[in-house]
Chain A
């Protein structure tokens, strides 16, 4: 008797859980779905009401969008250059630093690690004004270097790589390669980097997405239209010239989101696993 009761109770419970999960999943999809659908609809259609089915104005919206100096290809390319190089810098040098922290026994090792933990807490905006003035005096505004080079010092990635190395690297490999006459840098590049590949892949995804999505720094540093990255272009969609062109605003938004959607669905398993790894600090 009590048993059947608990089974019905569990069934009701599970139904509630599935309903909540499905509602939340819909909530995640719906805004993007509306965005993609509206990219294919004309502005009057959009103003007439909500629709979940695409219409036929994709090309019109594209033409309106690009006629107003919105150059998604240029923005895409600029974003790709900045995000690509800063990702390479971030993962390579973070791995190098983490290797230095794990393998070598040096006097300042522990203080340096504590210091990295503290640096992780500094909000980016705290240094923005000084950074801008510094770059202005160096004539480095409208240059991609100030958006790429700082990635070499990425404390959070160093932290992650250190944890990964502590868990996976046995120092015997390093010893063995020394006996075989390999220099320290050669050991790192040829033997350690391949070992670290799983960690590098997850961190590369995050570094790339973070850089791709960064608005604050590029907005401050880049004033030349030819240098704009995609997030800045998105911010232009908010401006007056698009005020009444809803169709092309959605079109512009879809274009900036599409590459990330593709990457995400291809790599979602690794991304989810990566968030999980990054979150567990043991």
Chain B
């Protein structure tokens, strides 16, 4: 009888155990607990015995049907995300095209990358408070600047109008994140097979043609990756809307995001844990559905096919080995 070597496979389980345990205790249990709270009457500071509501979905129903500010928060989250993501990806793509174009040979690229990425590293809460101070009324730095440049006669109350408040919050998000997106995209371009670019240049393609016909199609996976991470981040948008304008939510709830709504329901004096939990679950479901959708679009059809074939070959090899 041939002796089988020592099996090490149990170490796979052992090494993954800390992750699994911590996930079960600190993530899965809280998620299930949150879902459970969403069906109950839990509220108030002093813990009382809690009950599942007669109509378990009442919290959800009230949020979706009756609660205007919750619906508004979903709409706001979407508006703020779109308004920062589109210019963000557009500028990032433009800069990527410039920085990766060999013929242009932009000098000082390293320094530009370092500076453009810089806002991303600083605490979002610091940036939120900083910008709210910069846009102060009547004499904040931005107002002084506008006055000095002759753009405005009287001080502007930037934070009192829905559109400027939204615009500035989107701008801050854009300003913090386009450098990050740019670096990710540049790395993606570096990963493209240089032969493709060579072929394009031999065929006489111009810079613009190369970018649209070679670079962009090869970047598909990375673009979708940026889309997913940005979307998850956008759904969680909290620090900036929470701290930028007081009271949080801005004029007429124009910058009330879902996260700010959840925080406000549960932790800012009203202690409506059940409503907040139901809102979290709705947000979770939206994130799950959107992620699934994007993953479906992202899946590489060719690669899936290759993997399938690979598995078949492996199986056949194993069967053959056993047969020997």
Cβ distance A144 to chain B, nearest Cβ, rounded Å = 14
- A100-B16 contact in complex given A27-B175, A153-B27, A256-B126, C-beta closer than 8 Å: yes
Asked whether A133 lies within 8 Å of B37 as measured between CB atoms, the reply is yes
CA distance A32 to B132 in the complex (A): 13
Q: Is A17 an interface residue (CB 8 A)?
A: yes
Asked whether A231 lies within 8 Å of B184 as measured between CB atoms, the reply is no
- A272-B283 contact in complex given A31-B134, A100-B16, C-beta closer than 8 Å: no
Q: Which residues of B contact A277 (CB under 8 A)?
A: 187
Asked whether B235 lies within 8 Å of A152 as measured between CB atoms, the reply is no
Asked whether B27 lies within 8 Å of A122 as measured between CB atoms, the reply is yes
Q: Which residues of A contact B296 (CB under 8 A)?
A: none
CA distance A184 to B147 in the complex (A): 68
0/1 string, B62-94, CB within 8 A of A gives 1: 000000000000000000000000000000000
Asked whether A106 lies within 8 Å of B13 as measured between CB atoms, the reply is yes
- A213-B124 contact in complex given A31-B134, A100-B14, A277-B187, C-beta closer than 8 Å: yes
Which A residues lie at the B interface, using CB under 8 A?
Answer: 13-14, 17-18, 21, 24-25, 27-29, 31-32, 34-35, 38, 46-50, 93-94, 96-97, 99-101, 103-109, 112, 119, 121-134, 146, 149-150, 152-153, 158, 184, 188, 209, 212-213, 215-216, 219-220, 230-231, 234-235, 237-238, 246, 249-250, 253, 256-257, 260-261, 264-265, 268-269, 271-272, 275-282
Give A268's nearest chain B residue, CB to CB.
B114
Nearest 7 A/B pairs, CB to CB = A100-B15, A279-B184, A130-B33, A104-B12, A106-B12, A276-B187, A130-B34
Q: Is B212 an interface residue (CB 8 A)?
A: no
Given contacts A21-B95, A132-B267, A276-B183, 10 further A-B contacts (CB under 8 A): A97-B15, A103-B12, A122-B27, A123-B236, A126-B287, A133-B273, A134-B29, A237-B129, A253-B126, A280-B222
- The stretch among B160-168, B197-205, B238-246, B314-322 that forms the contact with chain A is B238-246
Please report whether the interface of chain B is mostly helix, strand, loop or mixed according to DSSP: helix
Q: Which residues of B contact A27 (CB under 8 A)?
A: 175
Asked whether B126 lies within 8 Å of A93 as measured between CB atoms, the reply is no
Q: Which residues of A contact B145 (CB under 8 A)?
A: 50
Cβ distance A48 to chain B, nearest Cβ, rounded Å = 7
- A146-B125 contact in complex given A123-B235, A130-B31, C-beta closer than 8 Å: no
Q: Which residues of B contact A271 (CB under 8 A)?
A: 117, 121
Asked whether A213 lies within 8 Å of B243 as measured between CB atoms, the reply is no
Cβ distance B119 to chain A, nearest Cβ, rounded Å = 6
Asked whether A125 lies within 8 Å of B19 as measured between CB atoms, the reply is no
0/1 string, B231-256, CB within 8 A of A gives 1: 01001101100110010000000000
Q: Is B52 an interface residue (CB 8 A)?
A: no
- A105-B148 contact in complex given A128-B262, A132-B266, A279-B225, C-beta closer than 8 Å: no
From A121, A133, A235, contact of B232 by CB (8 A) = A121
Q: Which residues of B contact A31 (CB under 8 A)?
A: 119, 127, 130-131, 134
0/1 string, B180-223, CB within 8 A of A gives 1: 10011111101100000000000000000000000000000110
Q: Which residues of A contact B228 (CB under 8 A)?
A: 121
Asked whether B33 lies within 8 Å of A133 as measured between CB atoms, the reply is yes
Q: Which residues of A contact B281 (CB under 8 A)?
A: 126
Asked whether B34 lies within 8 Å of A126 as measured between CB atoms, the reply is yes
Q: Which residues of A contact B263 (CB under 8 A)?
A: 216, 219-220
CA distance A38 to B31 in the complex (A): 44
Asked whether A49 lies within 8 Å of B187 as measured between CB atoms, the reply is no
CA distance A215 to B122 in the complex (A): 12
CA distance A18 to B125 in the complex (A): 31
Q: Is B302 an interface residue (CB 8 A)?
A: no
From A34, A238, A260, A269, contact of B132 by CB (8 A) = A238
Cβ distance B224 to chain A, nearest Cβ, rounded Å = 10
Asked whether B106 lies within 8 Å of A34 as measured between CB atoms, the reply is no
CA distance A271 to B183 in the complex (A): 10
Q: Is B57 an interface residue (CB 8 A)?
A: no
- A127-B18 contact in complex given A25-B112, A216-B263, A235-B125, C-beta closer than 8 Å: no
0/1 string, B252-295, CB within 8 A of A gives 1: 00000011001100110000010011001101100110010000
Q: Is B9 an interface residue (CB 8 A)?
A: yes
Q: Is B297 an interface residue (CB 8 A)?
A: no
Give the residues from 124 to 151 in chain B that come closer than 8 angstroms, CB to CB, to chain A. Answer: 124-127, 129-134, 136, 139, 141, 144-145, 147-148
From A50, A130, A249, contact of B141 by CB (8 A) = A50
Asked whether B139 lies within 8 Å of A99 as measured between CB atoms, the reply is no
- A104-B8 contact in complex given A129-B277, A213-B123, C-beta closer than 8 Å: yes
Asked whether A153 lies within 8 Å of B123 as measured between CB atoms, the reply is no
Cβ distance B105 to chain A, nearest Cβ, rounded Å = 9
Asked whether A127 lies within 8 Å of B121 as measured between CB atoms, the reply is no
Q: Which residues of A contact B14 (CB under 8 A)?
A: 100, 184
Q: Which residues of A contact B225 (CB under 8 A)?
A: 279, 281
Q: Which residues of B contact A184 (CB under 8 A)?
A: 8, 11, 14
Q: List 13 A-B contacts (CB under 8 A).
A: A25-B112, A31-B127, A96-B19, A103-B12, A105-B9, A119-B27, A134-B33, A146-B26, A215-B123, A230-B123, A265-B114, A272-B183, A281-B225
Q: Which residues of B contact A29 (CB under 8 A)?
A: 115, 118
Cβ distance B178 to chain A, nearest Cβ, rounded Å = 9
Q: Which residues of B contact A109 (CB under 8 A)?
A: 12
Asked whether B122 lies within 8 Å of A32 as measured between CB atoms, the reply is yes
Asked whether B104 lies within 8 Å of A14 as measured between CB atoms, the reply is yes
Give A230's nearest chain B residue, CB to CB.
B123
Cβ distance A193 to chain B, nearest Cβ, rounded Å = 13
